[in-house]
Amino acid sequence: MTKEERVELADLLFPNLEHDRDYYEKLYPERNLKEGAMVTRYAPSPTGNVHLGNLLSAFADMVYARQSGGSFFLRIEDTDQKRMIEGGIENITGVLHDFDILPNEGYSFGGDYAPYIQSERTEIYQTYVKDLIVQGYAYPCFMTEEEIEAIREEQEINKTKIGIYGVYAVDRDLSLEEVKEKLANHEEYVIRLKSPGDGNKEIEVIDCIKGKMKFPEHNVDTVLLKKDGTPTYHLAHAIDDHLMHTTHVIRGDEWVSSLPLHIQLFELLGFQPVQYVHIAPITIKDQETGNIRKISKRKDPWFGVAYYDENGIPIEALHLYLATITNTNFEEWYLNNPDKTIFDFTFSFDKQAVGGTSFDEAKLTNLCKTYFSRKSGEEVYEETLSWALKHDSEYAELLLGNKEAMIQFLSIEKDGPRPRKDISKYSEVKEEFSYAIDSLFEKEHYAKNESEKEYDVDLIFDYVEHYLNLDVDNETWFNTVKEFALKNGYAASPKDYKNDPDSYKGHVGDVCEALRVMITGRLKSPDLFSIMKILGKDKVLKRIEFYQNR
Ligand code: GLU
């Protein structure tokens, strides 16, 4: 076709478009950002619920945009209406809110590049496709589904590349008259790319994580607009990333194989290229086989995001975990910088693992413990209360009724360079601190008594009644326990006992163990003297009685 014929064809196919390309280029001008600012986007399709892999890429979008003074936006890619799930869009925005991965603009957040949902941008896509037709880079294709299927079968038998290209692209060179005739016959059509690529030539792409990659040029006449005039993802994302001035496309690496097409589309549409950042998927070491495998929704509950809230994993701790996946040097930095937050760290693409990162529950737990250890007793109380209000209303009541004491218990061993590291989830506070609330202690404690031993109640009663002074410092207290132990036939230190086991019933540690079990129901607890101070002597005595009568 001549240029004039292509213009005529374009007008014939798109008679009602209100604007031209220039209009949209002006409507969505360059962003006014400082040099080096990154514009990133989370561009999910509402075809399934958000999972940990999605959160990881949205998290990366957020931190890179934020640290560079750029913008992170949310774009809903709902081009595949057939695969949309009910509530899919609400799930996306809800999860971003719940997990505090908040875009600074985008669908439901607003911004200058709206609409941020592809189903409301059809005219824009058509406008650019119309222009591609004029330039000879796109054409209407009237092939039926049966014809295409027959070609695919033939290609499968011949083991050649699947798709409409070369000899298979029968409508590529239809004359204007032929197209008009088919249109007059109401034949359905899609608009295909007229790919100028040569499959024998190579292109080179530099990915910010994966480095230099080589691919054969794209040479398939991929569908750009479907029969109903709506775009395919490939076309829509290219136009959107151009008009929304994305600088870095951060996404899952299942899109790597589409890069030759995407790069070709950018070129043919006359767009500035973007930088690509393809993130490898999270994998898992299979419990049964020991092999690294893909994550599975069925086998790996942590892959769904509901898991974190249900189990009481703090959002900020999950952020820490996502940060360790995003940059391999993050964890060490975080552990060495107790007073810093994620946003003090400088993330960089070259510290991102090229291969898949394996989900590491132990690491997540450890980060959670570090997170809790850095929070004050009051913060842990407030956060646990919010969690309990949602998931354990009975416990929430107890927390509300015992606020002051609870904060005191949660504040034990918080000062100093090595704060207590025990809790890893909100859901563990109830059990770990069951001794902090009388009714819980009474209900749960002896059923769960961790020790099998029978302890000498008279001995401990005697100690508490006659020797326990709660108004001294920790060292003085421990000295009196030692004295008491010695007086009652226990060595003052484990070492003394070890040197002469026949002369003693045990050592001071055994006395403390008995005291601890009677008071807390546990073999391990935060500093025992601090616990007793908060309880007061009367309660301590009552607990010993309780132990005796259990
Ligand atoms: N809508 C695509 C998806 O959900 C996103 C791909 C991209 O980020 O470019 O997989």
| Residue at 259 is within a domain | no
Per-residue DSSP letter, 453: S
> Taking a C-beta distance cutoff of 8 angstroms, is the pair 550, 446 a contact?
yes
Q: Is residue 243 part of a domain?
A: no
10 and 150 housed in the same domain: yes
Claim to verify: residue 15 and residue 156 sit in the same structural domain: yes
The number of the ligand 1 atom at minimal distance from the alpha carbon of 237 is 9
Q: What is each CA distance from 334 to 21, 287, 376, 543, in whole angstroms? A: 48, 29, 18, 41
For residues 358 and 497, membership in a common domain is answered with: no
Same domain? For 9 and 132 the reply is yes
77 lines ligand 1 (CB under 6 A): yes
In a domain, 16, yes or no: yes
Is residue 155 within 6 Å of ligand 1 at its C-beta? no
Residues in CB range of 325: below 8 A, 6 or more apart = 56, 282, 353, 357
What's the CA gap between 224 and 209, in Å, rounded? 28
144 and 17 in one domain?
yes
Atom of ligand 1 nearest to the CA of 42: 8
Q: Is 516 in the pocket of ligand 1 (CB under 6 A)?
A: no
Q: Please indicate whether residue 251, judged by its CB atom, sits closer than 6 Å to ligand 1.
A: yes
In this structure, the answer to whether residues 390 and 450 fall within a common structural domain is no
Ligand 1 binding pocket includes 237 (Cβ within 6 Å): yes
Q: Which of 116, 232, 237 to mutate to test the pocket of ligand 1 (most atoms within 8 A of CB)?
A: 237
DSSP line for 426-450? GGGHHHHTGGGSHHHHHHHTGGG--
CA of 130 to the centre of ligand 1 (A): 24
pLDDT in tens, the chain (550 residues): 999 999 999 999 999 999 999 999 999 999 999 999 999 999 999 999 999 999 999 999 999 999 999 999 999 999 998 999 999 999 999 999 999 999 999 999 999 999 999 999 999 999 999 999 999 999 999 999 999 999 999 999 999 999 999 999 999 999 999 999 999 999 999 999 999 999 999 999 999 999 999 999 999 999 999 999 999 999 999 999 999 999 999 999 999 999 999 999 999 999 999 999 999 999 998 888 888 888 888 888 899 999 999 999 999 999 999 999 999 999 999 999 989 999 999 999 999 989 888 899 999 999 999 999 999 999 999 999 999 999 999 999 999 999 999 999 999 999 888 899 999 999 999 999 999 999 988 876 654 566 778 899 999 999 999 999 999 999 999 999 999 999 999 999 999 999 999 999 999 999 999 999 999 988 999 999 999 999 999 999 999 998 888 8
Same domain, 459 and 502: yes
Which atom of ligand 1 is nearest to 45's Cα? 4
Whether 15 and 163 share a structural domain: yes
- Six token digits for residue 43: 């561009």
Q: Which of 95, 120, 145 is the last residue of a domain?
A: 120
Q: Is 512 within the bounds of a domain? A: yes
238 inside domain: no
Q: Is the CB of 258 under 6 A from ligand 1?
A: no
For residue 425, is it within any domain? yes
Tell me which of 102, 120, 138 is where a domain ends: 120
Same domain, 10 and 144: yes
Number of domains within the chain: 5
**CA nearest ligand 1 atom 2, residue:** 44
Q: Does 255 contact ligand 1 (Cβ within 6 A)?
A: yes
> Helix or strand or coil: residue 41?
strand
Q: Flag whether 49 is in a domain.
A: yes
Domain-located, residue 393: yes
What CATH code is carried by the domain that includes residue 364?
1.10.1160.10
Considering the domain architecture, whether residues 204 and 168 belong to the same structural domain is answered as yes
317 & 356 share domain: yes
What residue numbers bound the domain in which 398 lies? 375-433
Whether 112 and 127 share a structural domain: no
Neighbours of 498 (CB within 10 A): 11
